[in-house]
Structure 1
Amino acid sequence: MSTVIEHPVEARLVAAAPRMPSIPATLRYDRADPFAVRMTFPAPATLEGVEVCWTFARDLLVDGLDDAVGSGDVRVRPYGYDRTVLEFRAPEGTAVVHVRSGEVRDFLGRTTELVPVGLEHLQVDLDGDLAELLRRTR
């Protein structure tokens, strides 16, 4: 069984224009980093012309399907019946995207099959990670 899940989604960038353009994005989950989710936007979809990847807690995405959550750089909230809003804040500005809630639920279901919620700590090798960190500092 693969330890990485990648799930392409169609995101709609919220902008000043009346029509929100669709942009491709990928949700990614890796059992080696069981508490985190990554959302990546390809270079053509960004203002800088480089791929942009945001990393945030899987719990934030889970909770954001039903309630407004987040107080930092990433905020998530439901929008209507079938949309989830992700807001990404950086010094350069804020990006707000809408994603179909069904796509997010499908992705989260796959991550839960790989690592059930509440059992993430069983995937982390603290002793091995600490040994590697100490080895690098010598």
Structure 2
Amino acid sequence: MNSLVHKTLVVQLQAGDTDRCSVLAHLGYDAADPFALSIVFSHDGRVLARWTLDREMVADGLLRPVGVGDVRLRPVSRGVWDELRMEFLGDPRTDGDRHRAVVYAWAPAVAAFLRETHRLVPPGREKVAVDDFLAEVIAGAE
């Protein structure tokens, strides 16, 4: 059985006060890390950013605003077009604010991706290999 799910979406990136521009978002899920989703944003063959997000947070973000740190998600409806708004906060700027980028993804496509991950590992059935994790932590401390 395949333990990986991948989906590539065309999303809209808005950085600062600029207009939206289309970029690719490569979503990934590995059942070996059942709580995490990876997103790699790219444009013209260049990787713009990589983020790891909590799978449950993304699911919740399709329904209501979530996040208080570097990642904030919320649903946005533009007429018949439902989007997931993802705000990513980066390094501090010289004016004291932080760099930020906002990405808009078509919500039904994100929901379809999540359903595929839920078929592999249903919510609440995630398992973490605690012994392996502790062995890694202890090995790194030596």
TM-score of the superposition, structure 2-length normalised? Answer: 0.83
The structure where strand makes up a greater share of residues is 2
Which residue number corresponds to residue 113 of structure 2? 107
The structure where helix makes up a greater share of residues is 1
Q: How does 1:27-46 map to 2 (within 5 A)?
A: 27-42=27-42, 44=44
1:17 Cα deviation after fit: 4.1
1:129 Cα deviation after fit: 2.4
Which residue number corresponds to residue 5 of structure 1? 5
Q: How does 1:1-138 map to 2 (within 5 A)?
A: 1-15=1-15, 16-18=17-19, 20-42=20-42, 44=44, 50-80=47-77, 81-91=81-91, 93-120=99-126, 122=127, 124-138=128-142
Give the number of equivalent residue pairs.
132
Which ranges in structure 2 are unaligned for 5 or more consecutive residues? 93-98
4+ runs deviating over 6 angstroms: none
Which ranges in structure 1 are unaligned for 5 or more consecutive residues? none
- CA, structure 1 residues 50+23, in 2 after alignment: closer, same or farther (shift >3 Å)? closer
Percent of aligned pairs sharing the same letter: 37
CA distances 1:69-88 after superposition (whole Å, capped 9, x unpaired): 10011111000051110111
1:133 Cα deviation after fit: 3.5
